[in-house]
Amino acid sequence: MRERIAGFLLMVFIVPLAVLGYLLIVYIGFFGKTERGRAGVRALDHFVNATLFNGYAWESVSSHAWREQHRWWARAIIWFTDKFQQDHCRRANKREQPIVDLVLKKKLHHRTQ
């Protein structure tokens, strides 16, 4: 129960900062340095993967979609990204899968005590 309360209190502070971060990403996209915007979009991508798609926090939606090709949402993402960059999801997974494997092997995704 303490973990839930701590999580709630943390979210009270994190969610407004996340909204502010999103607005900053939009501003940076138009007026800022490309590298900073790309880092923010990557972090947002991982957040969306972890929350909406129940994926790993250290993996992008594209890489996750490639691993889960049998699911309807993954096929939709693969289809959509192929319109902009052929084999995007496959290449994202090829780049990120060693990280996923390492985190799982070392059990870094387990809760710390």
Give the domain-ending residue among 18, 37, 55.
55
The residues, any chain, with a CB within 8 Å of residue 81's CB and separated by 6 or more, are: 62, 65, 88, 89
Domain shared by 62 and 33, yes or no: no
Mean per-residue pLDDT, 81-89: 97
In the chain, how many domains are there? 2
Cβ-contact 105, 98 below 8 angstroms: no
Query: Are residue 68 and residue 93 in the same domain, yes or no?
Result: yes
Predicted pLDDT at 24: 92
3-state secondary structure of 21: helix
- pLDDT score at 64: 98
Q: Which of 53, 65, 64, 54 is nearest to 99 (CA)?
A: 64
Name the pTM for this structure. 0.81
Q: What is the pLDDT of residue 15?
A: 86
Whether 39 and 6 map to the same domain: the answer is yes
Q: Which domain holds residue 24?
A: 1-55
Q: What is the pLDDT of residues 8-67, one digit of tens each?
A: 888 899 889 989 999 999 999 899 888 888 999 999 999 999 999 999 999 999 999 999
